[in-house]
Amino acid sequence: MNILTLYMIREIVKGSLIALLILITLFNLGTLNDELKDLGKGDYGLHEIFWYLFLTTPRLIYELIPYAALLGSLFIVGNMANDREIVAMRSAGLSLFWLIRTIILAGLILVGFSIAVGEFLAPSAERAAQVLKTTTQNNNVVMSSQYGMWFREDNQFINVRKIYDDGVLGDIYVYSVNDQNRVDNIKHFGSARFENKSQWQVTDIFQSHIARERITADRSGSQVWNTSIDPDLMNIAVVKSDNLSLYDLLMYINFLRDNNQKTQTFALAFWGRIINPFVTFVMLMITAPFVIGIRERVGNSSRLVIGALVGLAFNSFDRIAGYMGLVYGLNPMLMAVLPSLLVFSIAIMIIRKLR
């Protein structure tokens, strides 16, 4: 690898990382503005807000690297073109293929960094951020185990074993403890649906009263259950694609398929993870037509505007394709690949014409 190749790779990677830092700062400022609206809710203070932003940053890095690569490479390689460095390199015998290959080599470094963050750091950090936000806002002691979610509310210990997609809870146990730290009452609810603030409508109620001399039980159909448990607490137990690595996504898809449940959303997220490294290369390939095809000097502001518009257009197209796949039940792999493949093909066609 010659000196010019190393120089190009170093500059493109440096420019992309600077662009990534700027994008993360902008996105976190927007998130900070949203989170400040919940300041003071429960124990959710400034310390928790900034810690939440820190924990969600790895996911942002993973999602923004392709667009940072686009902006960084447009800025760096565009400046080289303005300063006639690209012309000098090509006059020295370096081909267009060399330029594209060098850009792709820089992309390999960015993709490696992206995969490391997205697979090994972001999922666990995202789960921790969700737990932090939910528990501090609701002032409940929460624990997740193989027996479901556990909450403590005054002298009661509540175990929720089933959480359905529509927000309904099922198989709920409520253990009441007296002043002597002995269980004196056990309630079991077949299901619970949130009605309004602090009220749940519970059905299929079975209650046991435990005394020293005897145990009595009774059953009833439905009643209102007053509790401070907020439905948002259940977000801790809800499986989200952002909280799963690629391997975990695959295992969860197989689990859903084995239980005859819908897999479309998680399948789309899985193939999106597979395609995401390719998106970085697609964004980098878009750089070449602008550098080769534009002969006159172009200002940095114009170049960044072009990059932002291209990035926004691609992101919108990618999301629309994903939603269409979910709505119409189209193949998740096809809908994940289609936007990147289409844009990549257009970039290749433009480059061939410019040659």
Task: Work out the pLDDT band at 54, boundaries 50, 70, 90.
Answer: very high
Report the helix count and the strand count for the chain, using DSSP H and E: 9, 7
pLDDT, tens digit, 9 for 90 and up, residues 273-325: 888 888 888 888 887 776 665 555 566 677 677 777 888 888 888 888 888 88
Structure tokens at 322: 């994903």
Task: Work out the pLDDT band at 8, boundaries 50, 70, 90.
Answer: confident
Instruction: Answer whether 136's CB lies under 8 Å from 42's CB.
Output: yes
pLDDT of residue 30 exceeding 90:
yes
Q: How many of the other CB atoms lie within 10 Å of CB of 57?
A: 19
pLDDT, tens digit, 9 for 90 and up, residues 60-94: 999 999 999 888 888 888 777 777 777 777 777 77
Q: What percent of the chain has pLDDT over 70?
A: 89
Q: What is the model's pLDDT at position 140?
A: 57
Among the residue ranges 179-193, 234-248, 260-274, the one predicted with the least confidence is 234-248
pLDDT, tens digit, 9 for 90 and up, residues 138-149: 665 556 655 677
pLDDT, tens digit, 9 for 90 and up, residues 329-340: 888 888 888 888
- DSSP SS3 for 201: strand
Q: What is the model's pLDDT at position 34?
A: 92
pTM listed for this prediction:
0.75
